[in-house]
Amino acid sequence: MLEGLQASELTLYSILIFLFLENLVNLYLTRRQIFVYETSKDIPAELRDVMKKETFEKARLYGLDKANYEVFKLLVCDIAISSIELYTGFVAMVWMRAMEVTARVGLDNGSEIQVSIVFLLLINIIGTFKDMPFKIYSTFVLEEKHGFNKQTPAFFIKDQIKSFLVGQMLSIPIVAAIVYIVQIGGNYFFVWLWAFVGVVSLVLMMVYPVYIAPLFDKFRALEDGELKSSIEQLAASLKFPLGKLFVVEGSKRSAHSNAYFTGLFGAKRIVLFDTLLLNKGLPDDSTLTDDEKGKGCENKEVLAVLAHELGHWKLGHIRKNIIIMQVQMFLIFMAFSQLFKYSPLYQAVGFPPNVQPILIGFLVIVMYVLAPYNTVISFAMTILSRRFEYQADEFANSLGYSKELGKALVKLHIDNLGFPIYDWMYSAWNHSHPTLLQRLERLKRLQKKEK
């Protein structure tokens, strides 16, 4: 049978088969986790003193609803819609429409760069409308049902418009530059492409927290006081080049909490979500709802969380991830340079012979041809990420924050309705962080080892 297939058909069916098998694995793993949600009725012994039965049940139902939603979205988007689009040559149809629109608005449809820009706009608009029902359901039904959504419809619409506009402003010049570099770069264009994308990635890492993030969330300087002084002392003791301390009002978007630091060179910023701080870090709780009162971490627990995050910096995890990312990009661009002239790749997604747009070749190769490689690398990075998390926990323990870190992890888990029990296969494949119980057990062993 395979001998009778043309190269383009063989390519298409190979892509579809791998797409189906990969999603089948994801479906199987998610079903395993759903079984855990359905059958786990008792609080783990490690958490019985700190987690109420009511909270455990809320977390179980929240996890179950999210997992069922994942299954639905996987079946509809990742299997059904993606397969139909591939089989019917949807991308080729959008490209042909982009050529028509390019000519209609007075641009040159003989210019691949100009057509690529219009194609990008069209595919992003289509993608936005395709994803919108799922975003609306996730935000206003799923998250709303479990008390996490804080967005009004007006805020949501404004947020989506800003996200789309910022996305286009960033992606259009980058895509135009990529096509141009491939056109003029010669046989070794992938080297120039890698250098360009690498520089752009580093610039965006520096620009995003200063100019882009404030477009979506309100940031305020952390008020003078015990917490700020303690954070500054912790940073100074580690020789961390702390520039500014901010609190982001993430509670206007969601009740979930987080903390991170940004900046590659020179002074760095530490950003705390207001939901991470006890009573949002406010001097009194008069403006909080009953559901918000008492949530968040005390100062010592916030310091423990930051000790973990600073551990990533001190142990070089950020630098290592950047290096890995750059090596990955180089290998992907090199593979692209070897494969993008292979005509059956374009015919497989609906293009006639001898029509080989650079942007389409890049998308097909990165998303589909290299999909098996990407899957293996993604799993390897998940394993590495979990190792880094354990190391950062150990670093926090070495600073004397083991007990407080354990308390903070439990509080954040409870506040975010995180379910503490996971199927081992599902967790190993999907979680970049070890589970709560795994981290608590490791912290307990570190404490015993020191004693």
Active site residues: 309
| Joined tokens for residue 269 | 């910023």
Q: Return the structure tokens found at 294.
A: 């008492």
Structure tokens at 51: 């987690």
∠ CA 290-291-295 to the nearest 5 degrees? 110
Which residues are CB-contacts of 377 (< 8 A; sequence separation ≥ 6)? 328
Nearest to 398 by CA among 269, 321, 310, 319: 310
Q: Which tokens sit at 345?
A: 């790749």
Q: Which of 207, 210, 299, 287 is nearest to 251 (CA)?
A: 287
Cα separation, 173 vs 191, in Å, equals 19
Cβ-contact 278, 297 below 8 angstroms? yes
What are the helix (H) ranges across 282-401?
299-314, 317-339, 343-348, 358-364, 371-398
Cβ neighbourhood burial of 140 (10 Å; 0-12, 13-18, 19+): middle
Under 8 Å between Cβ of 275 and 257: yes
Q: What sections of 152-212 are H helices per DSSP?
A: 153-184, 189-207
Cα separations in angstroms, 320 against 43, 241, 354: 38, 19, 42
Q: Which ranges of 208-298 does DSSP label H, i.e. alpha helix?
A: 226-237
Tell me how far apart the alpha carbons of residues 416 and 87 are, in angstroms, rounded to a whole number. 41
172-176 long-range contacts, Cβ below 8 Å, gap at least 24?
172/117, 172/120, 172/121, 174/200, 175/116, 175/117, 175/120, 175/359, 176/113, 176/116, 176/117
Q: Could you tell me how many residues make up the chain?
A: 451
